Amino acid sequence: MRPRAADTRRAAVLGKPIAHSLSPVLHRTAYQELGLADWSYDRFEVDETTLSRFFEKLGPEWAGLSLTMPLKRAVIPLLDEISETAASVDAVNTVVFTPDGRALGDNTDIPGIVAALREHGIEQVDSAAILGAGATASSALAALARVCTGYVVVYVRSAARAAEMREWGERLDVEVRIADWADAAEALRAPLVIATTPAGTTDTLSAAVPERPATLFDVLYDPWPTALAARWSAYGGAVVSGLDLLVHQAVLQVEQMTGHVPAPLGAMRKAGEHALESR
Catalytic residue numbers?
72
Q: In 3D, which of 109, 163, 112 has the Cα closest to residue 133?
A: 163
Contact (CB, 8 A) for 125 and 111: no
For 126-188, give the secondary structure using H, E and C: CCEEEECCCHHHHHHHHHHHHHECCCEEEEECCHHHHHHHHHHHHHHCCCEEEEEHHHHHHHH
Q: In 3D, which of 210, 217, 168 has the Cα closest to residue 196?
A: 217
| Strand, helix or coil for residue 221 | coil
245: number of Cβ within 10 Å? 26
Q: In 3D, which of 110, 151, 148, 155 has the Cα closest to residue 130?
A: 155
Residue 271 has φ and ψ, to the nearest 5°, of: -65, -40
45: Cα separation from own chain's centroid:
19
